[in-house]
Structure 1
Amino acid sequence: MNIQGFEPVISAAMLCALVSSWSMALAPDYSDTAQVKPSLERLLAPLSQQAPTEIRDRGLQVHLEADKHLEQLQLDYRTKLEANGWQVVEHQGDNWGPFEAGELVATRNHNHLVVQFSAHAGHAEIDLCVWDHQPRNDTCPG
């Protein structure tokens, strides 16, 4: 049997199989997010009853609002975090006239959490972001 005429077809099929296997090896594994999400949701539950949204690097985010000043919010969240096994590793806050902003960064085992606060005239917006690892960029909101 003469296979010379089939050489381009065989080469193309082999190339397709090779590209397919590479793309499968390099493609992000979205099942990771599905596996990680429930454990991250359990970590957020004591801090918020709202459903989180997914953000980059397999993280979750919750956006909240409160009628409190920054200093009180940071104290409240620090207390909640520490009561739930988190270690606060960074705590900062500042104000510019009537505007206030702050951040808490906490870790728990290999999990990483950032709480961003912005407040004006006693009304605050809060973003909670949590990851199952230390992301390269932990800016919250994600």
Structure 2
Amino acid sequence: MAVAGCGGSPKSGTATTSPAGSTTETTTTTSQTGRPSSSAADLRKLIPTPLGTQRTDGPDDIQDNGIHLHFLVNGSPGDVMSAYQTALQGMSWAVNVESSGGGGGGGGATYTGTNGNNYGVFDGGGYRGTTDLDVCVWPSKPSNTKCGRRG
């Protein structure tokens, strides 16, 4: 008769009883290492799509296992970026405003943020009713955080 144990502990074992009634136990120890996922699909789940998006480009792979997306959004840059900051915070991003400004119908903002070990750069700007938003997210902060605009 064989009895196998399996569960949430890092230690599992198997006990075997022989017909004579003696028991032999073999124990196997396993180690589980938790590490952040760096797949593009997992990173994409951390990026909200702005309201009013008319086009999304990407995700494209970038340096240090990151991804880049570009959103073309209907709406003034100030309104779009303010709403995007709120959306990021709603998805558990700790957001830092690196720059923000506007005037004469144009404007924009650049945010950086962390979500667990993940690091993001969110750079948006435009004029009047259209905003371009470039988003780059990495599994951890890269040495080069440049998230350039597309041409």
Cα gap change, 1:101 to 1:35, in 2 (>3 Å): closer
The match for 2:121 is 114
Residues paired across the two proteins, number: 108
Asked which structure has the greater CA Rg, the reply is 2
Name stretches of at least 5 consecutive residues in structure 2 with no aligned partner: 1-36
* Alignment-derived partner of residue 132 in structure 1: 139
Q: TM-score, normalised on structure 1?
A: 0.65
How far the C-alpha of 1:95 sits from its partner, in A, is: 3.0
Greater fraction of residues in strand: 2
> What's the CA shift string for 1:3-53, capped at 9, x where partnerless?
xxxxxxxxxxxxxxxxxxxxxxxxxxxxxxx95323212212x33695411
From the two aligned structures, give the one with the greater helix fraction.
1
Query: Sequence identity of aligned pairs in percent?
Result: 23
What residue number does 2:89 align with?
A: 82
Residues 35 and 74 of structure 1, relative CA distance in 2, 3 Å threshold? closer
Is structure 2 residue 64 aligned with structure 1 residue 61? no
Q: Which runs of 4+ in 1 moved over 6 A?
A: none
**Alpha-carbon distance in structure 1 between the residues aligned to 2:99 and 2:114:** 16
Q: SS at 2:39's partner residue?
A: helix
Question: Which position in structure 2 is the counterpart of 1:47?
Answer: 49
Tell me what 2:130 maps to.
123
Ranked by relative contact order (alpha carbons within 8 Å, sequence separation 6 or more), the top structure is 1
**In the alignment, what sits opposite 1:13?**
none
Q: TM-score, normalised by structure 2?
A: 0.62
CA contact (8 A) 1:81 1:88 kept: yes
- 2:41 match: 38
RMSD: 2.4
